[in-house]
């Protein structure tokens, strides 16, 4: 993502000062791991900048429409993002607290020329709200592992064939031929034998 530089000025000069900041970016794409997403309508943001004393707090919302690729069938998959932006830009690097967790501290700094770059905060909001699994539709049937047919569009018949063979090959296939009702009957017979009303119980065949 291109830098999104905002120059701080007198409106945020004192602790407690706030400044709303709305804008649009013609950003056209982003990548997440090996996945590529396009942003046909760019990115909109609606932020509030606050001078919080030791730095500038940036909070607000990022909205955009994303087009990616379905993880199951490789067709285009679209979704809307409405992500929370939350970033703190320190005026000066915070002093070492002596805490062992310092390496994990995540913060941004106000640049020496008194500007902040909002791109990192916007990108992390976008990434946070990108689904881990992207689907063209919630019940996407995916591609046939045998012939590659898009199972949302056609039934090539392979799935039924595979399922049939799987059932035949299963060690539990024999269970299908068991007379489970008979087994239930046996139990009834046993408990019946312990009581007096044995005649009232149906006998297993
Ligand atoms: Zn799909
Ligand atoms: Zn197939």
State the distance from the centre of ligand 1 to the C-alpha of 165, rounded, in angstroms.
26
Q: Which residue has the tokens 């090539």?
A: 156
Instruction: Please say whether the beta carbons of 61 and 45 come within 8 A.
Output: yes
Cα(21)–Cα(59) distance, integer angstroms: 10
Per-residue pLDDT tens digits of the chain, which is 205 residues long: 889 999 999 999 999 999 999 999 999 999 999 999 999 999 999 999 999 999 999 999 999 999 999 999 999 999 999 999 999 999 998 776 655 555 555 689 999 999 999 999 999 999 999 999 999 999 999 999 999 999 999 999 998 888 888 888 887 777 776 776 655 545 555 554 444 544 555 555 5
| Ion ligand 1, residue ranges at CB < 5 A | 70, 72-73, 136, 140
Query: Residue 77 forms beta bridges with which residues?
Result: 68
Q: What pLDDT shows up at residue 84?
A: 97
For residue 138, the ligand closest to its alpha carbon is: 1
Cα(93)–Cα(80) distance, integer angstroms: 36
| Ion ligand 2, residue ranges at CB < 5 A | 144, 146-147, 149, 156, 158
Q: What pLDDT shows up at residue 85?
A: 97
Q: What pLDDT shows up at residue 159?
A: 85
* 111 Cβ contact partners less than 8 Å away, ≥ 6 residues apart: 117
DSSP secondary-structure letter at 139?
A: T
State the distance from the centre of ligand 2 to the C-alpha of 163, rounded, in angstroms.
12
Q: What is the DSSP string of 16-78?
A: T-EEEEEEEE---EEEETTEEEE-TT-EEEEEEEEE-SSEEEEEEEEEEEEEEE-TTT-SEEE
Q: Which residue has the tokens 């012939």?
A: 147
Q: Which residue has the tokens 């804008």?
A: 23
Q: What pLDDT shows up at residue 16?
A: 97
State the distance from the centre of ligand 1 to the C-alpha of 79, rounded, in angstroms.
13
| Domain ranges (residues) in the chain | 5-128, 158-194
Q: What pLDDT shows up at residue 195?
A: 47
Query: How many CB atoms are located within 10 Å of the residue 117 CB?
Result: 18
Q: What pLDDT shows up at residue 1?
A: 87
Q: What pLDDT shows up at residue 118?
A: 96
State the distance from the centre of ligand 1 to the C-alpha of 150, rounded, in angstroms.
8
Instruction: Please say whether the beta carbons of 136 and 150 come within 8 A.
Output: no
State the distance from the centre of ligand 2 to the C-alpha of 138, rounded, in angstroms.
21
Q: What pLDDT shows up at residue 171?
A: 78
Cα(21)–Cα(6) distance, integer angstroms: 10
As a dihedral over the C-alpha atoms of residue 11, residue 13, residue 14, residue 19, rounded to 10 degrees, the angle is: 30
Give Cα 118 distance to the centre of its chain: 23
Cα(75)–Cα(56) distance, integer angstroms: 42
Instruction: Please say whether the beta carbons of 122 and 45 come within 8 A.
Output: yes
Cα(186)–Cα(13) distance, integer angstroms: 86
State the distance from the centre of ligand 1 to the C-alpha of 154, rounded, in angstroms.
13
């Amino acid at each position: 993502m291109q830098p999104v530089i905002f120059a701080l000025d007198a409106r945020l000069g004192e602790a407690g000062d706030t400044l709303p900041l709305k804008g649009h970016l013609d950003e056209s794409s982003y990548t997440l791991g090996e996945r590529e997403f396009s942003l046909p309508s760019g990115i909109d943001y609606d932020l509030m900048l606050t001078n919080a004393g030791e730095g500038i707090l940036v909070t607000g919302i990022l909205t955009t429409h994303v087009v990616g690729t379905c993880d199951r069938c490789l067709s285009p998959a679209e979704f809307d993002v409405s992500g929370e932006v939350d970033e703190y830009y320190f005026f000066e690097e915070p002093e070492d607290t002596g805490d062992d967790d310092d390496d994990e501290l995540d913060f941004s700094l106000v640049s020496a020329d008194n500007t902040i770059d909002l791109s990192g905060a916007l990108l992390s909001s976008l990434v946070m709200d990108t689904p881990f699994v992207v689907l063209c539709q919630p019940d996407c049937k995916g591609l046939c592992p045998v012939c590659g047919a898009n199972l949302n569009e056609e039934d090539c018949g392979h799935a039924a064939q595979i399922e049939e063979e799987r059932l035949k090959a299963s060690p539990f296939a024999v269970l299908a031929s068991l007379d489970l009702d008979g087994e239930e009957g046996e139990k009834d017979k046993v408990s019946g034998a312990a009581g007096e009303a044995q005649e009232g119980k149906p006998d297993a065949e």
